[in-house]
Amino acid sequence: MVETLLELKRGLIHLLYPNLCEGCRKPLVGQEHVLCLACAAEMPETGYNNIPGNETEMRFAGRIPYKHAASLAYFTNEGLLQHLMHGLKYKNQKQIGYYLGEQLGKSLMETHWINEIDCIVPVPLHPAKEAARGYNQSLLIAEGMNKITEIPVLTGILSRNRQTESQTKKTRSERVENMKDAFSVLDWSFIKNKHILLCDDVLTTGATLEACGLALLMEESVKISIATIGIAVS
């Protein structure tokens, strides 16, 4: 009886306040979550995560020693992924982070190298920025990835030493300089001899991930790979 009443209550709530697709704003049905099937099919996925020398890898070539790199989808101005990221980062839509992390996790499960990974480490925000936002979007993405891959997520490993300026209007060299020495490792004991998958939301020049990677690679036994939801189209 109680279960029946709860089902009726949930049905009534959904009728009055339906979950809407973040792409087209139509009501979601069945197993749809965040995006309807039609909008999910329009996500501009890269499809190259199992290919050595892919575009994500090439953005780090010659900059840091990495094993593998992958991105879920292309990030374009006014595109679907930009819309989703805006909701995630500025409108408290945490469910988008989990959803995109799950989609990235599913993509990585199709690669030949995912079983090499020991742990996922999300790029940290500066404590003041995380307090203002209320959460770290990269951690939400990592938790979504964990749901699919079952690879443990490690937090409290990397620290953001200073609140860096916005990267938006900076050149590649300015971005690298802006991120120089921005991160440090808080606890080396958890990462020795580990293959770490660094996780972030959108890859543009790669300056932030490069700075994180350089901090982690100060421990010689560490190996790193990189995964992002988006890769900005240049």
181-219 burial code (b ≥16 CB/10 A, e <16):
ebbebeeeeebeebbbbbbbbbbbbbbbbbbbbbbbbee
| Amino acid at the residue 2 | V
Helix boundaries (H) for 42-152:
55-58, 80-90, 94-108, 127-133, 137-149
Question: At 4, is the pLDDT very low, low, confident or very high (cuts 50, 70, 90)?
Answer: low
Mean pLDDT over residues 57-66, rounded? 94
Q: At 43, give phi and psi (nearest 5°).
A: -60, 125
Question: At 181, is the pLDDT very low, low, confident or very high (cuts 50, 70, 90)?
Answer: confident
Contact 46/74 with Cβ under 8 angstroms? yes
Question: At 10, is the pLDDT very low, low, confident or very high (cuts 50, 70, 90)?
Answer: very low
Query: How far is the C-alpha of 14 from the C-alpha of 16, rounded, in Å?
Result: 6
Question: At 166, is the pLDDT very low, low, confident or very high (cuts 50, 70, 90)?
Answer: low
* CA distances, 105 to each of 48, 164, 171 (Å): 14, 29, 31
Query: How far is the C-alpha of 136 from the C-alpha of 155, rounded, in Å?
Result: 11
Whether 12 has a pLDDT exceeding 70, the answer reads no
Whether 26 has a pLDDT exceeding 70, the answer reads yes
The helix (run of H) or strand (run of E) holding residue 212 is: helix 207-216
pLDDT value, residue 13: 43
Query: How far is the C-alpha of 124 from the C-alpha of 108, rounded, in Å?
Result: 22
* CA distances, 117 to each of 113, 129, 226 (Å): 8, 29, 10
**Torsion angle of C-alpha atoms 225, 66, 219, 201, degrees rounded to 10:** -40
pLDDT value, residue 190: 92
Q: What domains, with CATH codes, occur in the chain?
A: 1-42 (no CATH), 44-232 (3.40.50.2020)
pLDDT tens-place string over residues 70-129:
999 999 999 999 999 999 999 999 999 999 999 999 999 999 999 999 999 999 998 899
- pTM, entire model: 0.86
Whether 165 has a pLDDT exceeding 60, the answer reads no
Backbone angle region of 107, left / alpha / beta, with phi > 0 → left and psi within -120 to 50 → alpha: alpha
For the chain, percent of residues with pLDDT exceeding 70: 85
